[in-house]
Amino acid sequence: MDLVGRPADAGRVAFEREASSSRAPSAPFAGAPNGEHAQSDADAVASRAQTSKMRTEELRAFFGRSEVIRGITLPIPEKKVTAIIGPSGCGKSTFIRCLNRMHEVVPGARSTGKVLLDGQEISRGVDPVRIRRRVGMVFQKPNPFPTMSIRDNVLAGLRLNGLRPKDPASLVESALRRVALWDEVKDGLGRSGLSLSGGQQQRLCIARTLATEPEVILMDEPCSALDPIATARVEELIHELQSSYTIVIVTHNMQQAARVSDYTAFFYMGELIEHGRTDAMFTRPRQQKTEDYITGRFG
């Protein structure tokens, strides 16, 4: 499974065991805007044991003068799937684009506040290129490089990072196997990435991201351009990946959030309304707005 041969993997397995033993009914989200429920207070206490891979503090993001993220503080637990839900325009995509410094590539975009990765502030003062190598991203629309073959698409990230894999063929195979695309494309690795169907393209893009072995994978509505079958496959894939990666997925599909995530954060108008364990949030939302949204009263 280890593609590039990073020594971190042993630690990863050890951590996994530790994490699952302390998992119990914990919510890592301290500071939820609520104090009434004894249950969630207990969650908050238990949560301190859980490590945050990333964390934002008072994050604000702007496009020109308009403020689209209004001071969001959110921990992102390690090796868990965190879903961000909310109606269109609530800032969820902008939020995850702040996590790997992609927000700033749009002209006129800027942000304030902190983004921490392993406790280190990354939103300024560090080279965004290095952050993006650690925090990979899968986009809303499948975007394989159109002039590259399937094989070259998988290897593109490594080549960009200046790595010359010793055995590119097996690397391509293992990356494609992980996204369950290998059997479908193994006879035509030289074909253009564009020759694949939308769902296959998206899985190819995920394989391309995996091949660079990021620590965190951000997914910006990865299934919104896919049909239900392709969506189901990508969701299965997310399930499999969560044991090795920290995943943040933006979705406007609440069933999807319920199916794939461990934790959910609900955004509304650029603010964080509520966050917590996904099962708790979908069964016992603490805020009226959350309940309205997840029961489909608006959105």
Partner 1 sequence: MAQPVQSPSVPVSRAPSKRARGEGNVGDAVFRWLTAAFAATVVVTLLAMAAEMVGASWLSIREFGAEFIVSRDWNPVTEEFGALPFIYGTVVSSLLALAISVPISFGVAIFLSEMAPDWLRNPLGFLVELLAAVPSVVYGLWGIFALAPWMRDTVEPALREHLGFLPFFQGPNQGYGMLTGGVVLAIMITPTISSVSREVLRVVPRTFREAALGLGATRWETIATAVIPVARSGLVGAVILGLGRALGETMAITMLIGNRPEIDVSLFAPAYTMASVIANEFTEATEDLYLAALAEIGLLLFLVTVLLNVLARLLVWRVQAQGGAAT
Shortest distance in whole angstroms from residue 232 CB to partner 1? 7
Shortest distance in whole angstroms from residue 34 CB to partner 1? 23
Give kind and range of the element (H or E) at residue 132.
Answer: helix 128-134
Q: Judged by CB, which is closer to partner 1: 178, or 208?
A: 208
Give kind and range of the element (H or E) at residue 69.
Answer: strand 66-77
Q: Judged by CB, which is closer to partner 1: 109, or 180?
A: 109
Shortest distance in whole angstroms from residue 212 CB to partner 1? 6
Contact 264, 257 (CB under 8 A): yes
Shortest distance in whole angstroms from residue 14 CB to partner 1? 23
Query: Per the structure block, which two tokens stand in for 24?
Result: 């119990």
Query: Per the structure block, which two tokens stand in for 288?
Result: 């009226």
Give which of 17, 141, 158 is closest to 79, Cα–Cα: 17
Q: Judged by CB, which is closer to partner 1: 33, or 297?
A: 297
Q: Judged by CB, which is closer to partner 1: 70, or 252?
A: 252
Give which of 19, 22, 40, 20 is closest to 30, Cα–Cα: 40
Nearest 5°: phi and psi at 216?
-125, 140
Give the Cα separation of 105 and 232 in Å (integer).
31
Q: Judged by CB, which is closer to partner 1: 11, or 296?
A: 296
Ranges of beta strands (E only) in 240-289 are: 246-250, 263-268, 271-277
**Which residues would be at the binding site for partner 1 (CB under 8 A)?**
81, 100, 102, 105, 107-108, 129-130, 132-133, 136-137, 139, 141, 143-149, 151-152, 156-157, 160-161, 190-192, 194, 205, 208-209, 212, 228, 232, 239, 255, 258-262, 278-279, 296
Shortest distance in whole angstroms from residue 137 CB to partner 1? 4
Give which of 72, 129, 80 is closest to 100, Cα–Cα: 129
Q: Are strands 246-250 and 216-220 parallel, antiparallel or unpaired?
A: parallel
Q: Judged by CB, which is closer to partner 1: 73, or 140?
A: 140
Shortest distance in whole angstroms from residue 101 CB to partner 1? 9
Nearest 5°: phi and psi at 169?
-60, -45
